[in-house]
Structure 1
Amino acid sequence: MSSPAERYAAARRRAAQASQFPALEEFASDLGFDLDDFQRESCQALERGSGVLVCAPTGAGKTVVGEFAVHLALRGTPGEPAPADGARRKCFYTTPIKALSNQKYHDLVDRYGADQVGLLTGDNAINGDAPVVVMTTEVLRNMLYAGSATLEGLAYVVMDEVHYLADRFRGGVWEEVIIHLPASVTLVSLSATVSNAEEFADWLITVRGETTVVVSEHRPVPLWQHMLVGKRMFDLFHDADAARKHDVHPELLRYTRDTVRRLDLGEGRSAGPGAGRRGPRWRGPLRPDIVDRLDREGLLPAILFIFSRAGCDAAVQQCLAAGLRLTSPEERAEIRRVVESRVTAIPGEDLSVLGYWEWLDGLERGLAAHHAGMLPAFKEVVEELFVRGLVKAVFATETLALGINMPARCVVLERLVKYNGEAHVDLTPGEYT
């Protein structure tokens, strides 16, 4: 317990911070929780006029820094007269994927109102002249090259998931935006933890000028790792100390060795097509069995990543064929109400062509796919129902893999490799975590 002198000193420090960073104190007072040290340091740098690079693990709350940039844009600059032409300061919030843009748009609308926030993606164009616009990074790149009038008054750009800069196919878009943004724009870069944060920061300083680097390695949401081998689930590591040493659980090693030995002896081979081929063939657990096991273990809702659109659709059909039903009658009624309210603008004959009834059957059972090949309205319904806990298992490609705040208790990786457009490659550590 602190002494009266210590409490008095702490109060003096808080008062000094409030006078030095009034916008931050105003912003923090509405959050309902205390800022972490890295969040406060980042926001203070922003209020001083510096750009920031924030590197923190998934779930650490780095988007609070981006939201503070929005607050600064809408707040204006105290003590300065409003521009004679009535122009407002703007903030663009960029994300790499449409699902993340949609979610961030709704979050900001809830906080600031629909008249203050817009959305620009390949699927939606809502209130594009608003002072705060959420968009995919490609949209901002196109604006810069076209010299769009929408850029007038732009004061802040938030680049969420900026580590996407390292992506060999789309990373160039992030680089172009960072280089071509006007010098008057303050850049807020939000990144997962990366090994070369200092090197990245040096490049940002060279291109953008003053940039404060804030790195936090504390992961507030623990990552518990399991492996499902056949029908048995194992902890990947025995305890935290073993995880730090990368010592795989001995029981898991023993079971997998026994399984491989049985395969080598010919047990477990398929008698169907392909039998007789040389070498053992391992078949992983069936997708319906995985979902059923997660349900029994209390690990739903879950996102199951299958890096194939056809695979996601097939997984839903396999679960339906297996008779899985994860919802209560009340949840099914609410799901149908939400779906019907969101598809009223689509003609009935179009719904039949789009596979609406099969899609609705899956939703009512708590199952859905999510990938870039789906109708945007269908994807948005899946996102809404999953956020509300009505859909329990979503089979997704990488469309749900980046920074999205979904209430998943468990994430399943069917494979640790994916096709990157040229070859099948291993997932990177950043993609895994």
Structure 2
Amino acid sequence: MVPEDNNPESSLLRERAIAPDEFQLQSFAVIDGGSSVLVAAPTSSGKTLVAEYAIERTLATGKTVVYTTPIKALSNQKFKDLSKWLGKDQVGLLTGDNAIRPEANVVVMTTEVLRNMIYADSPALTDLGLVVLDEVHFLQDPYRGPVWEEVIMQLPSASRLVCLSATVSNAHEVAGWIQEVHGDCEAIIEMTRPVELHDHFLVFDKRHKRLQGFRTLRHGESNIEVERYLGKMSGQRSRGPQSRGGAVGRPRRSEVITHLDENDRLPAIFFVFSRQGCDDAVQSCLDYNVDFLDGREKARVEVIVEQHVSEISKEDLVLLNFERWLDGLRSGVAAHHAGMVTPFKEAVEDCFAAGLLKVVFATETLAMGVNLPARSVVIEQLSRFRGEGHVVLTPGEYKQLTGRAGRRGIDSTGHAYALWSPYESFDQLTQIAKSNDFVLESAFRPTYNMAANFM
């Protein structure tokens, strides 16, 4: 049962004047009961508050906390967020790049770092009371997923788990497995998205030289208007050389940006799936003289940038193509990917959070919980290169990407756009967009090294 006093002793809830949602209250009750919890809820619904509540409770008992994430970008953001809340002295960071206050009461790290600490029997884990596994659906990743399972299985039973994900449809099954291999665990599920999402499909009409937009789904099913339109247009010749698709073509980025701007659907994140593609997209915008900012906004950008690059030498800035990168920011466009140096990436994040960036071209790392919600998301293609070839996005990956669309408390509706392509069918898009099948499956494969560590 959920306590009727609504946790009056929680300074976190009192200071923020938060009225928790029902799924958050249920999660709080599980935590207060001493069990682990798996929270499956849409992006921006408030899963982080559950983790913060558990952190507050754990610190009150004199125990320590580890907050794990799948990527360094998310680790860096969580480090900043938790430091702002708890104070810098209370929070540390351990990634492949940084080791800041590793002895702190709350340490943010990638999951591999925690796995290595467990195998090394690190004394830093002696008083460990809580582990937060953010983006826990990552355990199905074929390359890194087994690390999550190793952590769950090898973690001392006295340490509770708070597992967070937006894309787990078999949460009760996963929670049952955690209970078998680690300890008591309950699944809390929230299905309602805090901001309504509209899926859109854009094509370029070659005959009339304009974009044609459609809703991807109608009443949860494929929009028959799109199928009729594509069928009609596929048999028609456009002016000029005949190409696949007949009289329809793939919209250009500049055309999509103009469409979003005219319909008041910026800021937007374009998912490109290639670091070089992100950088090239920014340059393309500059070539087309895209510029969203006035003089005062450009000055604010420069102030934010200076705060992040002040310690980088002029020589290094030249090597990093600083002026070209800054030209993009001054115009309201930027790239965001793992290949960027940390000061550049953090400057982009701060400019976006300040409302100074209207378009960001990003790889999928931006969908991994990094808190940069936009009004619209554009998925340029439904497939991406993984390992040995291109594979189509899973429904869970699509949901993760489109989860960035719609800012809670700002937008009444979020918008997710997909673009026509001669290599991907509209039916593929609708099957992905309408699916709620995000079954989390194990990627665990025993290895000799793993067996040796278990001994």
Please classify the TM superposition score into its range, dividing by the shorter chain length: 0.7 to 0.9
Contact 2:234 2:247 in 1 (8 A): no
AA matched with 1:156: L
1:17 and 2:7 matched: no
Higher relative contact order (CA 8 A, sep 6+): 2
Aligned residue for 2:214?
235
Contact 2:233 2:245 in 1 (8 A): no
Contact 1:236 1:249 in 2 (8 A): no
CA distance in 2, matches of 1:44, 1:233: 49
User: CA, structure 1 residues 325+120, in 2 after alignment: closer, same or farther (shift >3 Å)?
Assistant: same
Aligned residue for 1:65?
50
SS of 2:291's partner is coil
Give the stretch that moved more between structures: 94-103 or 327-336: 94-103
1:412 and 2:378 matched: yes
Aligned residue for 1:138?
112
Picking from 161, 179, 189, the partner of 1:187 is 161
C-alpha distance after superposition, 1:124-176 (max 9, x if no partner): 33222211112221221222223223223110000011011111111111111
Question: Where do residues 29-428 of structure 1 align in structure 2 (5 Å cutoff)?
Answer: 29-76=14-61, 88-230=62-204, 231-237=210-216, 242-244=218-220, 246-248=221-223, 250=225, 252-262=226-236, 265=237, 267=239, 269=241, 283-428=249-394
Contact 1:94 1:135 in 2 (8 A): yes
How many Å apart are 1:243 and its aligned residue?
A: 3.0
SS of 2:112's partner is helix
How many Å apart are 1:249 and its aligned residue?
A: 5.2
C-alpha distance after superposition, 1:286-315 (max 9, x if no partner): 212222221222111111000111111110
Pairwise CA RMSD of aligned residues? 2.2
Q: Structure 1: which 5+ residue stretches go unaligned?
A: 1-12, 77-87
CA distance in 1, matches of 2:24, 2:358: 32
CA distance in 2, matches of 1:37, 1:327: 41
Percent of counterpart pairs with the same letter? 48
CA distance in 2, matches of 1:286, 1:429: 25
AA matched with 1:418: R
User: CA, structure 1 residues 215+333, in 2 after alignment: closer, same or farther (shift >3 Å)?
Assistant: same
Picking from 4, 10, 13, the partner of 1:28 is 13
User: CA, structure 1 residues 400+379, in 2 after alignment: closer, same or farther (shift >3 Å)?
Assistant: same
C-alpha distance after superposition, 1:259-297 (max 9, x if no partner): 3222xx464537xxxx8xx99697411212222221222
SS of 1:115's partner is helix
User: CA, structure 1 residues 388+366, in 2 after alignment: closer, same or farther (shift >3 Å)?
Assistant: same
CA distance in 2, matches of 1:268, 1:202: 60
User: CA, structure 1 residues 408+266, in 2 after alignment: closer, same or farther (shift >3 Å)?
Assistant: closer
AA matched with 1:304: F
Contact 1:55 1:193 in 2 (8 A): yes
TM-score by length of 2: 0.81
How many Å apart are 1:351 and its aligned residue?
A: 0.9
